[in-house]
Amino acid sequence: MLRQICRRGRLNALLADGASLVGNIPGSLKILTGTQPSLLVNKKCGVLGQRIPDNDYEAIRLCLNSTAPIPYRHHMNLPHPLDAAILSPFALSLTHITHNSRVYSTSRLHCGNSSVTYRTPEGGLEAGIITSIWQTTLPINSTEKTLLVIAPYERLSVVDSFHDPYLSRPGFLCNIVYCNALPSDNTSSLPSKIIEATHIVYHLPFYDRPPGTFGISRPIRILINSVHRGRD
């Protein structure tokens, strides 16, 4: 009880000082109301942010902590030290962004524009689908950052790879992965990847084929790697 009274006091003090509560208010709202809102609303400005799904939130937090000068704390890891950097569970949900004069969108808005090749921190190239885009203001230096949540494509198993005709025909610049109707229906155990727009290399067109194609029992997606014409 005493701890909760102290937390409420901290919230009242922040409100009285007119401080920015972007990083602190979600956890405080849960304490005060007993519920966790799905939207952060301001009467003058309207919707300021949407609640980030728990899996995406943790993936974003871990990604930011890999380069942050001080680690971002989970908003539910109470009580927070007074000088803690708390990652807000609310962010502005975007449906698309423009990068290098090209539009990239979430899969629900435009499946074709969501299929991308991106560069990993190690310098390699991977492919996947943009499932969501979040724009948030970080508590450290009030930095605004736009982050993309990527569902990586699931590569063929060793057995199914023997049926891939493009392995012996590299000139087609195609390769095969498993296909799912939506990233949310993904049956693989691959974790989501978090990238920034600068990590995107190019769009990755595809052609979906039904089960049984080339003797592969699952639906497949043929990725076409020639759209960039050899340019990184």
SS3 45: coil
The domain locations on the chain are 2-90, 95-224
d(CA 8, CA 20): 16
- CB count within 10 Å of CB 81 equals 8
Q: What is the pLDDT at residue 228?
A: 64
What are residue 221's DSSP bridge partners? 177, 208
- Both tokens of 174, joined, read 């195609």
What DSSP state is assigned to residue 80? P
Q: What is the pLDDT at residue 33?
A: 39
Q: What is the pLDDT at residue 44?
A: 43
Residue type at position 128: G
Alpha-helix residue ranges (DSSP H) falling in the chain: 2-17, 25-33, 54-65, 111-114, 158-161
Residue 213 and residue 166 in contact, taking contact as beta carbons nearer than 8 Å: no
CA terminus-to-terminus distance, the chain = 58
**Nearest-CA neighbor of 135 among 6, 40, 207, 208?**
40
Cβ-Cβ contacts under 8 Å for 57 (sequence gap 6 or more): 87, 89
Q: What is the pLDDT at residue 23?
A: 47
Q: What is the pTM of this model?
A: 0.76
Angstrom CA distances, 10 to 3, 16, 25, 115, 117, stand at 11, 10, 11, 45, 45
d(CA 139, CA 84): 9
Q: pLDDT averaged over consecutive 10-residue blocks of the chain (232 residues)?
A: 61 57 49 48 53 92 88 86 86 92 92 92 89 88 89 93 94 90 51 92 93 94 80 54
Q: What is the pLDDT at residue 4?
A: 56
Residue 174 and residue 222 in contact, taking contact as beta carbons nearer than 8 Å: yes
